[in-house]
Structure 1
């Protein structure tokens, strides 16, 4: 399996190809999709790769299906009940109660109690068949469509490959409408809170099937970023994600900003800023050659970026410039969230920790 996002960030490398070892119980194969996450006192100190607010609660996801939640701004954590032990990558809550988490093996989990308990809505064993049924139905109506023929062939290959299909990010517009994205242009949408998922691979301007690392809204616009400088923006009228040209051909790991200001960030400290909805971009010089892997925004509107090594940079001018915050306890970071009181919670290879923001 390509350990696309969390292994890349945590291991401080551009990419890794590491086979995922499924757990063995009593000498027998145990599928991680059918094996609940183990309760562990060390879960908050193990690899954590995603963070999200669920109202005043903070929810974290990570390796081996671990999900934790905190009701005191990250000072103490409790472990949730999770039905799988697949590595989880990202989590999002559009409301304080309703949330979704995604990860490897095509896993999509849903919580309706603020992250305390979770149930599986989708996994990699279903992804290929869903795609095949959808695109075969479209091809039956347009049998001469070459693009649909290719989509059917792609879906057939995914069925044959099995469950090995990583999702890398999730975002919900509200309690019903949401998106998930992942490796090799994987993208699905739901309009009923995850009961049914529709593939949108034919609605992205991504002919090379580049990996999609993150999707997030900025103002009223929804962006997706990925490999080779890929930035796409949703055209709501057509339902398509159109590519926005950028002056960089390396990977972007995230997108952040405020109404009127969009920032994309990625490898080797590359950050680009747009004030015209992504039509043009200016490079922001951080003076830091390390990849930027996480972001957050403070209550007073400052933009926070965090490097793969744990450097924290803060902008008070809408991303036009950033100041490096002193930090003597550097550690690899994959996700960050500003919490009440103005501190920053960081997640990475060493688990979860708090850092005061100046």
Structure 2
């Protein structure tokens, strides 16, 4: 036997033992396949990072979820029941958090990100919509809206699990929202035990993508494509559209103490100090998209670009400072650790740094 086959045959045997389904051509849905543990997970593409108490949690491709100590210096891979790409993560409290991603997946952790369980996936969302809008149609048979929404629900049933959720936010451990493509929005009032469609309470008649959700001074905002910006109206009990001086895609919302920033394509950053009634444009000096934002322990807002830039909002709020970076790598998500070091995630995994 040649040396070539002496090497090849043991490798084939190993492959047959480790990946029998793959070799036999068996299909395993990523929603049924737990994320694989990998020593390279820390360097694999990651899409978002969120602080929970004194720790950090990051999510990314193939169901990878990592959690760290308070400095972000040591990361461990969490137990995750799916291999779907994950897009966002949010913790409203120290222990409880939610992550969302492709295939309509919603995951929940009750132990600060160490382990996760699945609450919902895209195979269930279409049926949920059918049930929800059928009940509304029965209660209001004269309405022209419910047949249209029922038809959309049927289309989603036929499409199967192919429904991407792009962001998640919770007001507390019970009330939360997940948003995604083609206007998909879900709400829970019981910590994710039950999710229900919320499109009929959202001013988005074109079904535009809902890219991000976040709260400023306790009020939720949703940022979407084509300049769509929605704010929760407690009086109307719905998300109402705001008029802004930009018609491109928005990727996020951040703010506190009356300061509201929205950001998106080609370096666009808009600022409002009156809850979105009027706006000014901040000059980022960038053509790269602004993809993430976070505030540090002193309450200073920072924004991050797809090309690796880091901007800090100056105290007067009307201008930005570009901070020097030794490594220019794409940034998809960012958050500050308990020691005020910065955790950045992107297509090269996660890295930690301190800002001047």
The residue number in structure 2 matching 1:14 is: none
The residue number in structure 1 matching 2:135 is: 137
CA deviation vs aligned residue, 1:100-142 (integer Å, no higher than 9, x gap): 0000000000011111010100000000000010001100111
Unaligned runs of 5+ in 1: 1-22
The residue number in structure 2 matching 1:120 is: 118
Q: Provide the C-alpha distance between the structure 2 equivalents of 1:124 and 1:220, rounded to a whole number of angstroms.
A: 29
Q: Provide the C-alpha distance between the structure 1 equivalents of 2:195 and 2:105, rounded to a whole number of angstroms.
A: 13
1:238 CA drift (Å): 2.1
Match of 2:165 among 164, 167, 170: 167
The residue number in structure 2 matching 1:25 is: 22
Q: Provide the C-alpha distance between the structure 1 equivalents of 2:332 and 2:133, rounded to a whole number of angstroms.
A: 35
1:352 CA drift (Å): 0.1
Instruction: Kindly indicate whether the alpha-carbon contact (under 8 Å) linking 1:303 and 1:319 is maintained by their aligned counterparts in 2.
Output: no
Q: Provide the C-alpha distance between the structure 1 equivalents of 2:316 and 2:253, rounded to a whole number of angstroms.
A: 14
CA deviation vs aligned residue, 1:290-311 (integer Å, no higher than 9, x gap): 1100000011111100000111
The residue number in structure 1 matching 2:9 is: none
Instruction: Kindly indicate whether the alpha-carbon contact (under 8 Å) linking 1:261 and 1:318 is maintained by their aligned counterparts in 2.
Output: no
Paired positions, count: 336
Q: How does 1:8-19 map to 2 (within 5 A)?
A: none
Match of 2:188 among 190, 207, 210: 190
Match of 2:328 among 313, 327, 330: 330
1:237 CA drift (Å): 2.3
Instruction: Kindly indicate whether the alpha-carbon contact (under 8 Å) linking 1:59 and 1:68 is maintained by their aligned counterparts in 2.
Output: yes
Q: 1:261 to 1:66 in 2, by over 3 A?
A: same
Instruction: Kindly indicate whether the alpha-carbon contact (under 8 Å) linking 2:55 and 2:68 is maintained by their aligned counterparts in 1.
Output: yes
Asked if residue 219 in structure 1 is aligned to residue 199 in structure 2, the reply is no
1:316 CA drift (Å): 2.9
Asked if residue 284 in structure 1 is aligned to residue 282 in structure 2, the reply is yes
Unaligned runs of 5+ in 2: 1-19
Instruction: Indicate the SS of the match to 2:247.
Output: coil
1:350 CA drift (Å): 0.1
Q: Provide the C-alpha distance between the structure 1 equivalents of 2:314 and 2:282, rounded to a whole number of angstroms.
A: 14
1:315 CA drift (Å): 1.5
1:24 CA drift (Å): 6.6
Moved over 3 A (4+): none
Match of 1:241 among 232, 239, 242: 239
1:318 CA drift (Å): 5.7
Instruction: Kindly indicate whether the alpha-carbon contact (under 8 Å) linking 2:300 and 2:313 is maintained by their aligned counterparts in 1.
Output: yes
Instruction: Kindly indicate whether the alpha-carbon contact (under 8 Å) linking 1:335 and 1:347 is maintained by their aligned counterparts in 2.
Output: yes
Q: 1:247 to 1:24 in 2, by over 3 A?
A: farther
Instruction: Indicate the SS of the match to 1:320.
Output: coil
The TM-score, its normalising length taken from structure 1, stands at: 0.92
The TM-score, its normalising length taken from structure 2, stands at: 0.93
Q: Provide the C-alpha distance between the structure 2 equivalents of 1:297 and 1:177, rounded to a whole number of angstroms.
A: 23
The residue number in structure 1 matching 2:63 is: 65
Instruction: Kindly indicate whether the alpha-carbon contact (under 8 Å) linking 1:179 and 1:189 is maintained by their aligned counterparts in 2.
Output: yes
Q: How does 1:145-160 map to 2 (within 5 A)?
A: 145-160=143-158
The residue number in structure 1 matching 2:305 is: 307
Q: Provide the C-alpha distance between the structure 1 equivalents of 2:272 and 2:151, rounded to a whole number of angstroms.
A: 38
Instruction: Kindly indicate whether the alpha-carbon contact (under 8 Å) linking 1:216 and 1:224 is maintained by their aligned counterparts in 2.
Output: yes
Instruction: Indicate the SS of the match to 2:284.
Output: coil
Q: Provide the C-alpha distance between the structure 1 equivalents of 2:105 and 2:312, rounded to a whole number of angstroms.
A: 34
Q: Provide the C-alpha distance between the structure 2 equivalents of 1:318 and 1:86, rounded to a whole number of angstroms.
A: 42
Q: Provide the C-alpha distance between the structure 1 equivalents of 2:69 and 2:51, rounded to a whole number of angstroms.
A: 10
Instruction: Indicate the SS of the match to 1:323.
Output: strand
The residue number in structure 1 matching 2:51 is: 53
Q: Which structure carries more helix by proportion?
A: 2
Q: Provide the C-alpha distance between the structure 1 equivalents of 2:21 and 2:217, rounded to a whole number of angstroms.
A: 46
Instruction: Indicate the SS of the match to 2:332.
Output: strand
Structure possessing the higher radius of gyration over alpha carbons: 2
